[in-house]
Amino acid sequence: MATRALLRQQQELGVKADIPQNLRFLWFDDSTKDYEMIKNRFCKIIACAEDRWFRTIDQRECDLYFQQQPASVKVILISAGRLVEDITMFIHRQHKEKLDSVYIYCLNVQKYSLVETRLKRIVTVVGIFNHPQMLLTNLRYKLITQLHLLPPPEIPVLALNAVKVHQVPNVTANPIPILPPEVVVASTPPQYSCLSSDADDTDVKWFSHPGTFWCPWNSKSCTNALNIRGEGVVEIMQQTSIPFEIHLSNKKDANDPTAYSIILSIDEKEVILRTSFGTSDSSTELHHTLQPDDGSWHRYWISFSKITLQALYGIGEIRPFFTILNSSLKESDLQQIKEIQYLHIKLNKNDRMLTDLGHIQDKVRFYIGNDPVIHELPLIIIPKEQYTLEHEVNHSAMLVENLQRPCRELYHSVYNFKLNTDDFPDFVDVIEKSIRNPAGWCHRKLVEKANRFGKPNLMVTYLRITAGKREGRAPGHSYVTEIWPPGHGSPIHNHGNVYSIVRVLHGRIFVKLYPQLTLNTNLYKPIETMFEEGQVTWMLPKLNQTHQLQNIDVHDKSAITIQCYKYGREDREHYEYFDYIANDGKSIGHFDPKSDMDYDEFKALMRQERQNLY
């Protein structure tokens, strides 16, 4: 194997680095087409002879293959999901010393997640991959790390200009983590009604946002009135986890035995959504019940509607997709449902909570909204001239006029932005070449950033090319062009409650939306959407905030987006970081969204690379 210095020199000159001489690749699947495609592309990108690869679907051939290999050989196994457990166990028993690692290649990632967990107890399982490009990129990354081409991992520090990580411990055994002060301040929900400055604009849609703040201790009452009879949404946020019960009732007296009520009760073991007349739904799943004390604010909500005759309960963002319990109300109770106009709250089953629980007043928030949760939100913004009745009734797209002012301003500022221009018509092509060429700035920068989000992972890297200066109007720069090579993506992260517009400039980007950012986020099923070139999506302070972006294109085409951010006028904190789940899944970090390069400087650099390298 070449020396480290020689490999670095080869990389700088654009020469392919050879792979370890003792490395082999065994494809255990009957998919000949995928095998040939991935093998050929891998050998083209990496200096690898095709005879290092072998395909079989027969266990006896596999056994013979291992027997014929010298003792020093290490074999990477790439297996179909349906076959991987049996063949891995066989190889582990018969040829344990020669098995380097296992890649699971299948269509359904979730289906084989338990198999992956079982196998990880005895062998190195790199992961489950359902796209050829993601498998290919991970294989390339493994070679880069084995050849020591990655820089040493950065050590996270607590300076404000660095990537900061706080460990979130096992809450049953460890104390609550100490968070940096600015994180505590920014994550604390406001003790005031938080509607934006255009709250009276009739064109703006609020998407069930409960913006009216209510404090039982300040009002000296555990009862409040809803603004509209028969419908609404209530949000409760807790930093100290304490069981609670909410009654949505048609009687002002919380103890009236004749009252018709929709009741939400939740503790550490169970959540129950029921009516006083017997309709009931419940769950004992741990990520559905009262969340643990981990230093974070947890968000619960209940919605009901006299129109749909439904009562909904969820955790995190308030939208139909993140509903946990859905209780159908009886049509025979419609008149009483229409009369519901009171909210009664009880914490820890304590009728004297105003006096006995005053010490947790600052750890609990209540917000009340008028609009119940009825339909899923359209994620795509289209121009007015393209908007039709079909979009309106199917909620498949929206107008930018329906969003708050910061989103409208950002949308109009980038709607006509283009990458390829008359003076640089092949700008995108040069970027693609810079990503693929080891001597290109894009390629080298991506390798350098492999440990940006904790444990080194080249797949979780992308480029941030910024326009303008940091002016304090957003976390980092207001305008960021982000470049996503094939197979690359972001960690699961949120955006500090900013307004945002995202437009796809080139390729397409796959987005997963999550209800909240916690270490158990993966337990919640995400909303999954593919945004195509030219499409525009949006973000509000309490909607679409927690997401993960990935380029899953299988044809070696990068995705390029422009992300625009802005604090709202109602934002009194201006949180400067993006919080993310670290690559090891064991901590939440606070990332200062720095620039990799200014846009004009980047464009000039790509001109130089076109002249000197391509």
d(CA 274, CA 267) in angstroms, rounded, equals 15
What mean pLDDT do residues 461-482 have? 93
pLDDT in tens, 22-71: 999 999 999 888 999 899 888 887 778 899 999 999 999 999 999 999 99
User: Which residue, 143, 134, 99, is CA-closest to 119?
Assistant: 99
What mean pLDDT do residues 439-448 have? 94
* Contact status, residue 547 vs residue 521, Cβ threshold 8 Å: no
What architecture is domain 4-146?
Answer: 3-Layer(aba) Sandwich (3.40)
pLDDT of residue 534: 96
What architecture is domain 384-507+531-546+554-612?
Answer: Sandwich (2.60)
Question: What are the C-alpha distances in Å from 278 to residues 230, 244, 260, 263, 328?
Answer: 19, 20, 10, 10, 11
Q: Position 291: which residue type?
A: Q
* 92 — pLDDT class (breaks 50, 70, 90): very high
pLDDT of residue 537: 97
What mean pLDDT do residues 104-110 have? 84
Q: What class is the 212-369 domain?
A: mainly beta
Which has the higher per-residue pLDDT, 560 or 42?
Answer: 560
d(CA 198, CA 561) in angstroms, rounded, equals 28
What mean pLDDT do residues 527-550 have? 94
What mean pLDDT do residues 365-385 have? 93
What mean pLDDT do residues 193-217 have? 71
Helix H or strand E encompassing 551: none
Sort strands 587-591 and 164-167 into parallel, antiparallel or unpaired.
Answer: antiparallel
pLDDT in tens, 252-310: 999 999 999 999 999 999 999 999 987 789 999 999 999 988 878 999 999 999 999 99
For the chain, the 3-state helix, strand and coil shares in percent, each to the nearest 5, are 30, 25, 45
Domain boundaries, the chain: 4-146, 212-369, 384-507+531-546+554-612
d(CA 548, CA 585) in angstroms, rounded, equals 14
Fold equal for 212-369 and 384-507+531-546+554-612: yes
Under DSSP, the state recorded for 518 is: S
pLDDT in tens, 161-192: 333 333 333 333 344 455 555 555 455 666 55
Reported in sequence order, the residue ranges of 486-584 that DSSP labels E, i.e. its strands, are: 499-506, 509-514, 527-531, 536-539, 546-550, 559-566, 578-581
Helix H or strand E encompassing 271: strand 271-275
Task: Return the bridge partners of 381, or none.
Answer: 398, 536
- pLDDT at residue 90 tops 60: yes
* 522 — pLDDT class (breaks 50, 70, 90): confident
Q: How many CA atoms lie within 13 A of 311 on its CB side?
A: 28
Listed range (111-115, 154-158, 312-316, 484-488) with the worst mean pLDDT: 154-158
pLDDT in tens, 384-443: 999 999 999 999 999 999 999 999 999 999 999 999 999 999 999 999 999 989 899 999
